[in-house]
Amino acid sequence: MDQFLLAFLLLIAYFMLLLFFRYLEIGKKQSDSNCNNYCPDCNAALNRVRRTKKDQLIHHFTFRMFDAKRYVCNECGWEGLRWDEQFKAR
């Protein structure tokens, strides 16, 4: 099989996987009437912290499809990325 075709098919499969993650809302911000963004473990409010270099690299490798921001929970110590539903193309 041609290497270019194989690379192209892998890129298409990767893009489809990202769309599937977006469809399943994996890592999406969770909100309700009391809080805009709450912890997935203890349901306490999350606080925004600065992104790391690794987070910025993930942002570029996901074709900027997920504008993920880093959050931390003061109650249980959970830390991770959450993305908002609105997709802003640049």
The count of other CB atoms within 10 Å of the CB of residue 20 is: 10
Task: Calculate the average pLDDT of the chain.
Answer: 88
Q: Considering the domain boundaries, does residue 15 fall inside one?
A: no
Number of domains in the chain: 1
Q: Considering the domain boundaries, does residue 37 fall inside one?
A: yes
Domain boundaries, position 62: 27-82
Q: The tokens of 43 are what?
A: 């349901």
| Separation in Å, CA 29 to CA 11, 17, 18, 59 | 27, 19, 17, 16
Grouping H, G, I as helix, E, B as strand and the rest as coil, residue 28 is strand
Q: The tokens of 64 are what?
A: 């900027």
Strand partners of residue 47: 72
Phi, psi of 63 (to 5 degrees): 55, 30
Residue 17, pLDDT score? 95
Residue 87 binned pLDDT confidence (cut-offs 50, 70, 90): low
Residue 14 binned pLDDT confidence (cut-offs 50, 70, 90): very high
- Poorest-pLDDT segment among 6-10, 17-21, 55-59, 86-90: 86-90
pTM of structure? 0.77
Measured CA to CA, the distance from residue 80 to residue 39 in angstroms comes to 10
Q: Considering the domain boundaries, does residue 19 fall inside one?
A: no
Q: Could you read off the pLDDT of 16-58 as tens digits, one per residue?
A: 999 999 899 888 888 877 888 888 888 888 999 999 999 999 9
